[in-house]
Amino acid sequence: MKQSYLLGAVLVLTSLTLVSCAKSGQKPDQSSSSTSSSAQVKKKSSNSSSKKSKNKTNQETKRVGSPEFGYIDIPSKWIKFFDAEVEGLIQYTDGSAYNIVTMNAVSKAEAEVSDGETFNAETIAQHVAYNWSQKDNIEKMWGSKSTVSGIEAFQINIILKSGQLANTLVFQKDDKVYILSFEGDEETLDDFITNMKDTWSLDGKGAVSE
């Protein structure tokens, strides 16, 4: 069973190696889903066909996150995603286990930046991009500059050979580098990246507890 590809890039930010956790394995025959507010599901292989999200401009949303990672608005129907092999991140899925949003953050102490390296968003983004470049399932990868709630961000854009898309936003506020990631189909990604850039903040007012 494959882990989330992007999860691998995000999770390794707490170590010097910053090595992707993606593992090879057999893809499931069906996607896992739930109508409850949370569900423990396995990541669907990127080789599986995805259901196109039916996101609408004025759909209902809920605010999720934590004081450690910040908060974003996501569709209210999305549910918590739990990877059986990792913990400590905030993840949500539309129920397909194909479209997944991940929130994380790392401090200088957690990143254990080596001598000669500056702890900042650019350094963390460079490490993530380098480790992605070492993988053989990448069709195309490029970087760009963006902003998240007015904060300069480094954006890593990836197209996998399977057709799945992955995108990571890396930015710094005060003494932490924050990482917002999404992987899934193009339609859902377009909505999510814009939404994350517009709604992220450390303000948890109205956030749900799940």
The mean pLDDT of the chain is 78
Our measurement of the distance from residue 162's CA atom to the centroid of its chain's CA atoms, rounded to an integer in Å, reads 18
The mean per-residue pLDDT over the stretch 175-186 comes to: 96
Most confident stretch, 12-21, 50-59, 199-208: 199-208
Going from N- to C-terminal start, the domains of the chain cover 5-25+61-199
Q: Name the pTM for this structure.
A: 0.76
What sign has the CA pseudo-torsion 120, 110, 93, 158?
A: positive
Residue of 125, 98, 135, 161 lying closest to 21 (CA atoms): 135
Side chain identity, residue 196: M
Report pLDDT for 84. 78
**How confident is residue 132, by pLDDT bands cut at 50, 70 and 90?**
confident
Kindly compute the dihedral angle of the four CA atoms of residues 29, 32, 35, 37, in this order, to the nearest 10 degrees. Answer: -170
What's the CA gap between 207 and 210, in Å, rounded?
Answer: 10
Report pLDDT for 23. 30
Report pLDDT for 4. 54
Classify domain 5-25+61-199 by CATH architecture: 3-Layer(aba) Sandwich (3.40)
Residue of 139, 134, 182, 127 lying closest to 163 (CA atoms): 139
